[in-house]
Amino acid sequence: MTIRTISPLDCIILNGTVVTAADIARYDIGIKDGKVSILAPALSLADSPATRVIDAQGAYVMPGGIDAHVHLAEPQLFGKGKAADDYTTGTKSAIAGGTTTIIAFAPQDKASPSLLKALDETARKAEGVAYCDYSFHLLLSNPTRECLNEFSALRNRGISSVKIYMTYELLQLRDNQILDVLLQSRIDGVTTMIHAENGDMLSWMTEQLEMRNLLEPKYHATSRPQILEGEATGRAIALSQLIETPILIVHVSSPLAATTIRNAQTAGLPIYAETCPQYLFLTRDDLSKPGYEGAKCVCSPPPRDGVQDLEGIWRGLQNGTFTILSSDHCPFEFDNAVSGKKAAISDDAPLGRFKYIPNGCPGVETRLPLVLSAGRLSPQKFVEVTSTNPAKLYGMYPQKGALLPGVSDADLVIWYPENGIEAFELGNEMLHHNVDYTPFEGRVLSQWPRYTLLRGEVVWDRDNGGVIGEMGCGQFVRRGRSEFCQVQGPWDPEKF
Ligand code: URP
Ligand code: ZN
Ligand code: ZN
């Protein structure tokens, strides 16, 4: 006979409403050594020994948010700006908003194009300074044969995704280059993320507007109409169809693109899609605010025309067209004339030239509270698109994005109990990013994370110290092949 001593749990979350992508029910959660150790009926762990007990009565308890689209510490890539957040401020902001894992970008340097070198350089920036767990997508701007040959080495390093662009001068790939990337992705089990906007249509439209002296921030939207995103989305789908390999279209903004994606999905094609809060809450009106205010909401693709467009994107989340909801946190200071939004202002263009406005909005901290407060997704759907699906799509499931005893990291976000928080107006001073504005200033929220736990440690306690995790507690997450990107057998051109 063996005698086992049961050591106390490290933490018990008592009597919460536990939400996963599949279920919602009252449970207790026991945590040991950074992992979810027990899921037990509500209050059954009330008398169990534990170092810490969190009473979550009436509160949603969810797997920590996974934000799979975050730009940190990047050089100038999208106009004149330079990222305002590094891996310290960006990840601090993430945990304060309930996100426990981010995937940021490791940009390839065109002049020195090795992907492994890009990975090493970016990994050094994150090492020892992050507040949440993290991984990287390789941002591919020059897919030479040498680089493509590095895909298998990237897989061995725990990186299983790359992002490519159909626009931006420094990044745009031609269709034949995209096909090269897709074929290599298929061979090595890499997920290809595509920024789908037609770069040639965009430069032509920009010239037309510039010739007419139509320069201010609102013309950013005019330069990038829905058709420009719709065309590129359709083309990306056709390219993926040729290689018979899955793709993920990032930051989809328009109902036109969403419909194109939905039709492809209905036809059985493995097309996945991401949207972001800016396409659920912002419109052209935000870009048209007086003076230079609109520059705060310049991102690409741009916020669309009106409420009917926002509704189309909400519908796509509800009906499964969108697999994931990310922030596309792309932080530039507003009041900064060198590397921020105001770098596009000059004496001859006092309201700026839209083509120089750094593209991107901050949002890693506000992603979850904005969308949960809106109350338009069921709690399970909310968890699915903000945590579970990103984990599955990017090869981290069920370590992340789930609450499986003995398997999943104890990454949790615990919200306030119903009626436990007064509705409040969001203000930038509440946030932890290194940006002097939020595009969601003044929005009324009814939820904010009460606690965030990272591998069992409380790192955010809103009512007792705020960010209490230590810098460097975030770890690199090795990722495997996407659960959604399974391809069988070699590609055969003779099939066509
Ligand atoms: O405006 C945006 N989204 N800027 C970030 C760059 C990108 O394409 O994700
Ligand atoms: Zn993009
Ligand atoms: Zn982005």
- Asked whether residue 101 is assigned to any structural domain, the reply reads yes
**Cα 168 to ligand 3 centre (Å):** 12
Which residue shows structure tokens 């689209």? 69
Please check whether residue 8 lies inside any domain of the structure: yes
Distance separating alpha carbons of residues 401 and 386, to the nearest angstrom: 9
Query: Are 329 and 85 within 8 A, CB to CB?
Result: yes
Tell me which residue has tokens 């069988």.
488
Q: Give one word for 43, left, alpha or beta, with left for phi > 0 and alpha for psi -120 to 50.
A: left
Torsion sign, CA atoms 361, 367, 371, 374:
negative
Which of 359, 364, 367, 435 should be mutated for ligand 1, with most atoms under 8 A from CB? Answer: 359
Taking the C-alpha atoms of residue 287 and residue 271, their distance in angstroms, rounded to an integer, is 30
Range name among 6-20, 201-215, 459-473 with the lowest pLDDT average: 6-20
Q: For residue 3, is pLDDT > 60?
A: no
| Separate counts of helices (H) and strands (E) for the chain | 15, 19
The label of the residue with tokens 């396409």 reads: 279
DSSP letter at 309?
H
Which range has the worst mean pLDDT, 16-20, 73-77, 86-90, 215-219?
Answer: 73-77
**5 — pLDDT class (breaks 50, 70, 90):** low
pLDDT in tens, 314-371: 999 999 999 999 999 999 999 999 999 999 999 999 999 999 999 999 999 999 999 9
pLDDT at 77 > cutoff 80: no
Please report, rounded to a whole number, the percentage of residues in the chain having pLDDT higher than 90: 93
Element housing 249 (H / E)? strand 247-249
pLDDT value at position 80? 76
Greater model confidence, 487 or 345: 345
For residue 177, the one-letter residue type is Q
Distances (CA, A) of 275 to 151, 303, 312, 322, 446: 26, 12, 11, 7, 22
pLDDT of 2 higher than 70: no
The tens digit of pLDDT for each residue in 119-156 reads 999 999 999 999 999 999 999 999 999 999 999 999 99
For residue 107, the surrounding DSSP H or E stretch is strand 99-107
Mean pLDDT of 221-244: 98
Pocket test for ligand 1, best of 70, 76, 78 (most atoms within 8 A of CB): 78
Ligand 1 atom 2: residue of nearest CA: 360
Residue 212, number of CB atoms within 10 A of its CB? 9
Residue 112 is predicted with a pLDDT of: 79
Question: Which pLDDT score, from 0 to 100, does residue 22 have?
Answer: 97
Tell me which residues have their CB closer than 6 angstroms to ligand 1. Answer: 71, 78, 195, 251, 299-300, 328, 330, 359-360
From CA 221, how far away is CA 213, in angstroms rounded? Answer: 15
In this prediction, residues 214-221 reach a mean pLDDT of: 98
Residue in 482, 91, 452, 92 with CA at minimum distance from that of residue 324 = 482
Contact between 186 and 245 under an 8 Å Cβ cutoff? The reply is: yes
Can you give the CATH number for the domain in which 42 is found?
Answer: 3.20.20.140
Query: According to the model, what pLDDT value does residue 353 have?
Result: 97
Pocket test of ligand 1: the residue of 194, 282, 286, 328 to mutate, having most ligand atoms within 8 Å of its CB, is 328
375 has pLDDT over 90: yes
Residue 356's pLDDT is: 96
**Mean pLDDT rounded to a whole number for the chain:** 96
- CA separation for the pair 303, 281 (Å, rounded): 9
Q: Which ligand is nearest to the CA of 328?
A: 3
Tens-digit pLDDT profile for residues 404-448: 999 999 999 999 998 889 999 999 999 999 999 999 999 999 999
Between strands 161-165 and 60-63, the pairing is unpaired
Per the structure, the complete domain to which residue 121 belongs is given by 1-490
* SS3 readout for 225-244: CHHHHHHHHHHHHHHHHHHC
Query: Is the pLDDT assigned to residue 231 strictly greater than 80?
Result: yes
Let me know if residue 422 belongs to a domain. Answer: yes
Chain segment 23-33, per-residue pLDDT in tens: 999 999 999 99
Q: Answer whether residue 4 shows pLDDT above 60.
A: no
Percent of the chain with pLDDT over 70: 98
Query: How many structural domains comprise the chain?
Result: 1
**Would you say residue 495 lies in a domain?**
no
Tell me how far apart the alpha carbons of residues 86 and 106 are, in angstroms, rounded to a whole number: 13
Strand ranges (E), 8-73: 9-19, 24-32, 35-41, 50-55, 60-63, 65-70
pLDDT band at 381 (very low <50, low <70, confident <90, very high): very high
| Poorest-pLDDT segment among 80-89, 124-133, 153-162, 215-224 | 80-89
Please list the alpha-helical segments (H only) found in 244-376. Answer: 255-266, 278-281, 284-287, 307-318, 367-374
Q: What is the pLDDT of residue 1?
A: 59
The CA 70 to ligand 1 mean position distance, Å, reads: 9
CA dihedral 199, 203, 209, 212 (to 10 degrees): -170
In this structure, is residue 496 part of a structural domain? Answer: no
